[in-house]
Structure 1
């Protein structure tokens, strides 16, 4: 990404028929600014991904230790579950506004502050004496994550350059997915065999290591050109940006609605429980890791829209197959595909948002992050209401298929309106 890219004051009001080869200013996308052999971006981007690993662990580990939290703080399981909602909603709503408000600040100290707040909030969570204090600490952790993750993605894209943007973004997202594969099982085991408080100390330690790595390894990432606050706020009204965020919210919601209640789903459909359930979750995480990294490779070669069309199609199909996966082998294959598709959406969506507004990468990426976490909060909440209402495990999967199909329809209408992606893969 070149430092002299610019977005004029009329750019965010341009027609939705602008082609993806142009950014919001109507100018061609920047040319690659690094030689093909340059690998200097890999280490700093890997360090940034360690921070998202901590946040991915934090996002999902609480689901595994909710019974311990409920018992330890003498509260109901439903009330304890709100600690997950508090984190997700705070992140979802805060990320775009924090990104706009901090646009002129240097990236490295800003990310350090975000990671530092995240670490302190997890330590506060670990020693919370009551559910109200724990909820407040989770809000603080959400603010730290909202400050760090979008800026880490933007910094990675800038460090790698346009030709490697998809791969760099995939590494950052890969930190989240690897957190679900390796971080969550470790954190859950600590919570079950030591205490839930120890699990959150573990997350804080990983975040602290990421903070030290950031301070030691990362040079100051390039700061985007100064853009007036009015231009930053105008992003909020751009129709294509909003459509991309709505798409992300629907895709994330359809996936997490099933994942949150996957124990009930698989117990009903495939009679999978206990250790077999842990294997299913591991397969989902392995698929997610492959999807996160593979989607970056595909986005660099196929383009973001083709990659998204494939990912959302597989996501909808895999959610539907969960209703008929009546043995462990078939269920395992479906979980592998579902994890891959669920995690293959974010990177290409980030890719096209940056292409849309190259001067405001942190702002537009924060919108994508907001869509992910709002989708998680809404998916988990609505899924619980549907199950309590008697829809059943298969009915829940069908509802998720409907949400994924809605996301796919939005994706196809977007690409068709610009006429640069064929519907046929």
Structure 2
């Protein structure tokens, strides 16, 4: 006797409905590992510096090379792998990511650690965009928003929980143990992906030339440049936050872990709350508030000698930094509605390139200025981002028509 599944109002079976939740959850575990890996090194830079016998300004470049690799290679990897099956491709990306983190943990020199971080960046650049696209496909139109939010949620939870946990492991055991923790999470995601993810259809291919054609429009360039400057300002200080807080409130260990947790919780509020604010206020007003708050909190880090104030600043700074991406994506897709995936990928590249510039420049500046003065430098870059934002707002432009030359 044959068995039929009860169809849901959307036309999908109830078993299929529960299946996409499991499948997207596994993909979100992978994005959790990526989110943790992106930020956890900032909390253990002093340990890495001491372990490798290198100045903290030099070890900070481990964050630079990860972000630079992601930002530069993501568009090229998307185009080069557009005809490859999605499930094996994501499995390969996770395997590279796991191996790179294990290699990072056993790297005996800074040079080898930097090479391993490049490999980790390649794995992340290959996995994250494909995980978002796969989640949307698996969930179908009726649940696409929830699925995409789950992937972003994995990145956010990686910051909220993964970074403090990884930092605590690094403070309690060793910095190598933090990277092994990240590798273990990635391995869980890999095993789950192989076990539960079905074969996926290939997404429509967008040639590399078409991906970069939108950059011929100055408004798109300005919006992406704003994202780059904002990310550079935020990560310049966050990369060396353990050093900054060590100078201002003399904290490390458990207290530093709690401060990073406050930053992550603030970031979660900013990431999810910015969507509602964008719907209510519009993207431009939301971005004005976020970039203003970012500049103020970055400058305030330099003069904060009170631990309660440091907790408040960390939460507000995290909220401001994470509140920018969603409204910036909103105005990009509003301007180029016929190529949403392309402009969103450019925004992501702007984020990671900004992080690479911020971490790299911060390391250079730390050779000549103090950690607290670095906060003023970050605030200055945030002010530049704010000025560019005001220019974008005051000079509206007509969106290009689909198929029209840029």
> What TM-score do you get using the length of structure 1 for normalisation?
0.77
Q: Is the 8 A contact 1:257 1:400 kept in 2?
A: yes
Cα distance change, pair 402–195 in 1 and its aligned pair in 2 (3 A)? closer
Gap change, CA 1:111 and 1:336, over 3 Å in 2: same
Distance between the aligned counterparts of 1:177 and 1:351, measured in 2? 19
Structure 1 167/402 Cα, relative in aligned 2: closer, same or farther at 3 Å?
A: farther
Is 1:146 the counterpart of 2:152? The answer is no
3-state SS, counterpart of residue 44 of structure 2: helix
Q: Tell me the distance in 2 between the aligned counterparts of 1:190 and 1:67.
A: 14
Alpha-carbon distance, 1:220 to partner: 5.4
Distance of 2:338 and 2:282 partners within structure 1: 20
* Alignment partner of 1:204 is 2:183: yes
CA distance in 2, matches of 1:72, 1:323: 27
Answer yes or no: is 1:418 the counterpart of 2:396.
yes
Q: Quick one: structure 1 residues 392 and 111, their matched pair in 2 at CA, closer, same or farther if it must change by over 3 Å?
A: closer
- The alpha-carbon deviation at position 275 of structure 1 amounts to 4.2
Q: Deviations over 1:364-383 (max 9, x none)?
A: 33322222222222212222
Contact 1:170/1:292, CA 8 A, preserved across alignment: no
1:396 aligns with 2:374: yes
The residue number in structure 1 matching 2:288 is 309
Contact conserved, 2:79 with 2:205, CA < 8 A, in 1? no
State which of 57, 75, 99 in structure 1 corresponds to 2:78.
99
Please give the per-residue CA displacement for 1:72-99, whole angstroms capped at 9, x wherever unaligned: 5555544443322221221121112212
Stretch moving more, 266-275 or 401-410 = 266-275
Q: Report SS of the residue matched to 1:388.
A: coil
- Bigger shift: residues 134-143 or 181-190: 181-190
CA displacement 1:57-113 (0-9 Å, x = unmatched): 112222333444445555554444332222122112111221232334444433222
Distance 1:257 1:126 in 2: 24
Shift of 1:342: 0.6
Is 1:377 aligned to 2:349, yes or no?
no
Distance 1:124 1:310, change over 3 A: same
Which structure 1 residue ranges, 5 or more long, are not aligned? 1-33, 421-425
> 111, 116, 119: which one pairs with 2:98?
119
Against the structure 1 CA distance between its residues 358 and 111, is the aligned structure 2 distance closer, same or farther, given a 3 Å change threshold? farther
C-alpha distance in 2 between matches for 1:326 and 1:163? 50
User: How far apart are the structure 2 equivalents of 1:81 and 1:87?
Assistant: 11
Using the alignment, how far apart are the partners of 1:163 and 1:316 within structure 2? Answer: 39
CA RMSD across the alignment: 3.4
Q: Is the 8 A contact 1:156 1:168 kept in 2?
A: yes
Structure 1 residue 146: deviation in Å? Answer: 0.8
1:361-406 deviation per Cα after TM superposition (whole angstroms, max 9, x unaligned): 554333222222222222122223334323661x433322221122
Q: Normalized per residue, which structure has more helix?
A: 2
TM-score, normalised with respect to structure 2:
0.80
Q: Identify the range of structure 1 (278-287 vs 383-392) with the bigger mean alpha-carbon deviation.
A: 383-392
Structure 1 partner of 2:384 = 406
Alignment equivalent of 1:54, drawn from 33, 53, 77: 33
Residue-pair matches, total: 384
- Are 1:213 and 2:169 matched, yes or no? no
